Structures are given as structure tokens and as C-alpha cells.
Amino acid sequence: MAVGRGTGPYEYRSGAAAETRHVRRVEWIVRDIDRKAIQSDLVDSMGSLLTVFELTRFAAADRVALLADGRPDPGRPDADEFAATLTEPAKLYEEVRRRGTDQPVTLSIRDFLAIWGAQRRYPAVIDQIESDLESGGLVTVPPFTEGTLDSQITVLAGGWEPDESGTSFFGRVHVGTNTLAGQVVGHPTDEDTEPPAVAYLVSNLDSANRMPECVRASDSLDSATTLMVLRNFSQLPVLDADGRLSGVVSWESIGKARMANRTPDLRAATVRGQEADRSDDLLNWVETIQQSGYVVVRDHDHKVCGLITAADLTVQFGTRIRPLVLLEEIEQRLRRMVDRCIPLDRIRAIVPGRRAARVHSAADLTLGDYRYLFLEPENWTALGWIVDQQYFLAALEECRNFRNAVMHFSPDPITEDQLVPAQGLLDLLRSMDPQV
């Protein structure tokens, strides 16, 4: 990665190539920062689909400045040094039992997954962790399958018996979350119910867990409009004294209020707002967010805890589409080059059994099939590629594994590091077949 400092205003260069006509001059401070030298949370933040965007979380600006100065990335200022000592599940079990109920182990879902050597919550990862938790007599509150990677969870030892108040220890600890004690991962409920399916919840978006800027119902309309101008907001949640949603004030609602009264107050300009629960399925709210531009998020106490806008959806789903687009182009280029260079009978020859009869072109091959196709010396020679066969096949296998991982649902985003192998293979294919 490179770090530079903007030194000039926008310029239009009419004589330059089409993709470099719109520029701002930059003084490059450093051009060769190894991606591996940057902590994963900062690399993830740099994975925006936008050409220009701001890094605002976890002291990103200060950390980039240190990198530009040749110093290492110190990591998040709130990094959990204790979590780094939990290098395997056995150490987690030991620590939970050593602490007892007075000082329960609390850590982020990201750090929790790292104990099992995982970065994302794939179904297989979830199954393994849930099995290990049950074997070790542990539970997480709330379930580690909910929330973002930076959400906090508490890990507790077994103990379901109610106390004199009639509530279990888990119920007492679980104040402030949106899951009932009887639904905690790791133990069956009293009712014979199926465990909830892994879904993409509202809480899986960062913005759903970040308290939005807002005004109180007792504030003035001038306070609301000033804040909206300063922050470039289209709307603001209006909260009551208990932190629950009274409504929303927007430029549209202000305009309508002023048509009825030239000097309306905040109450007159406040309209009913769209409100989702953190545990709702996000897909059920997509159409509403597209139409209204937002949805306010509430916790289990019906207090506002986040705000999702159409821009949040664009970035979130754009991030999820990017790996699919990358893989699609890789497969399209492989198909085109194979169909151009290798006869159909030799393509069919590497497909086992009756499936060979259903192969009419390279489009009917899987990524796994290409390995066997390219292992045949005659086929590899026919391609005419000036690349190392062993390295290429290794890259192809890595891409196949990446594709399989992408196709298994996970509520967590693909990181930039995980995209590097597939992007490298695509760049190689583009150089060998520059046709768009």
C-alpha cells in the first residue's frame, strides 16, 4: 500500500489517457507498505468500494500517519491484550472457570473466533465452535452468531438453575442484550424447538450497533436543522427521555410543517419513523430502506441503538457482490481461452463418467475440472501461456477454495487479504488474454 498527501486542487488533463484525466496532485510519502504490516481491522476499513472515502474508526488516521513515518501499525487503541493470550479453546475454558461468575470473560466476536483460528462465521466454523462450547459446558451471551465482528460477548460456564428470584444466572447477566436466557448458544431450551437458522440480521451491520446523532423531543427545531446542516444529514431520530423513538425529523417534514405554520416547533416537524429490531432479518427491511432512505434500529428494550441508511446498504451489499464479480470474470476468461485453444473431445476426456456427455463447452466445467484439464501436457501446450504451470495450478486451487468459502453463507464481510489470491489470478489471466 502507498500513503500520500494531497498537495493541490482538482485538475482536468485533456491530453492524458481517459482514466487519468481527473486528478489531484499528491506527494507520495511511502509507496511500499507491506499489507501484512497493517492490522486486519485497518485493512478491512480500507476495503471500501468508493474511490474516495474517509477512515474514521479505531484511530485510523493516526495509525496511517505512523505507517507513513516508517513505524509499525500499533493496532486498535482499544485492542484487548487479554484476548491475545487465549490462543486455543482449552485456555478459554480454563480462564472462564478460574474467574467464576464474579468476573466473566468478555471479548469481541472477532477475538472469540480467533481462538479457533477463524476470521469469519461460516456454517462449519459455527458448528465446530458450538460443539466445542457444549462439550466444555460453556455458553456465550449473546450468541456469537449475532452482531458484528466487533460486538462484545460474554463467555460463561454452565449453571442453569434459577436463584431465589426465579431467574437463571444467564438471565441476570444478560441485561442489555436482545436474546432470552433460554436461547443462549450451548444449551437446549425447555421447549423442543429447532435452533434458529443462520440469517443476515439487522445487527450484522456496523451502523445498526452505532448510536446515531439525534435530538430529544424537548429540543428546538433550530437545534435539529443546525445539526442536520453541520452533519449533512437528511433526517434525524427524535428520542424521548428514555431513549426510545418519538419520530423522525427530515427536510421534507420540516417543509411540510412550515406550509402549515411559518414558525413550527420540533414536535410539528416530527413524523413517524421506520423502526427495525436488531434481531430482524435485514432482507425484510431492504425495500423499506430503499424507499424511505433509512430505518432506525432499536434494541430489546426498544431504545434506539443504530441507524441504517441506503448508503450503508450500498456499501454492505457491494462488498458482498465484489467477490462474486471477481470469480465470475475468472471463470469467463478461463472458458473463453479453453474453448479457443482446446478441442471439445479433449475437454470431455477429463470429465468422469456420464457427466462427460453433458459437457458441450468449457462453460460446463467446474473450477476443479480445470486442474485436471491443465495437467495434461497436450492441453497445457495448446494454451501457449508463458507462465509457470505449477504456480498457476496452485493459484487456481487457491481460487477454487476461495470460491467454495464464498458460497457458504457468513454474516461477516470478505476481507481485502482474502481477495488478494483471486485478484492476483485474475490479473494474470487478463495479461494473457487482454480482450475485454
**Is the full-model pTM beyond 0.85?**
no
Question: Is residue 178 scored above 70 in pLDDT?
Answer: no
pLDDT confidence band for 195 (50 / 70 / 90): very low
Question: Is residue 433 scored above 60 in pLDDT?
Answer: yes
Question: Is residue 172 scored above 90 in pLDDT?
Answer: no
Average pLDDT, the chain: 84
Closest CA to 276 of 268, 284, 265: 284
Check residue 99 and give its pLDDT: 82
Check residue 123 and give its pLDDT: 81
pLDDT confidence band for 373 (50 / 70 / 90): very high
Check residue 258 and give its pLDDT: 93
Check residue 246 and give its pLDDT: 94
Question: Is residue 190 scored above 80 in pLDDT?
Answer: no
Check residue 243 and give its pLDDT: 92
pLDDT confidence band for 349 (50 / 70 / 90): very high
Check residue 49 and give its pLDDT: 58
Cell numbers of 126, please? Answer: 459455527
Closest CA to 362 of 389, 334, 383: 334
274 touches 295 (CB < 8 A) = yes
Check residue 76 and give its pLDDT: 77
Check residue 185 and give its pLDDT: 42
Quick one: average pLDDT of 225-245? 93
Question: Is residue 265 scored above 50 in pLDDT?
Answer: yes
Check residue 198 and give its pLDDT: 52
Domain architecture of the chain: domains with CATH:
3-68 (no CATH), 83-187 (no CATH), 204-302 (3.10.580.10), 313-432 (no CATH)
Quick one: average pLDDT of 81-109? 85
Quick one: average pLDDT of 218-245? 93
Question: Is residue 194 scored above 50 in pLDDT?
Answer: no
- The whole-angstrom distance between residue 199's C-alpha and the CA centroid of its chain comes to 14
Question: Is residue 426 scored above 60 in pLDDT?
Answer: yes
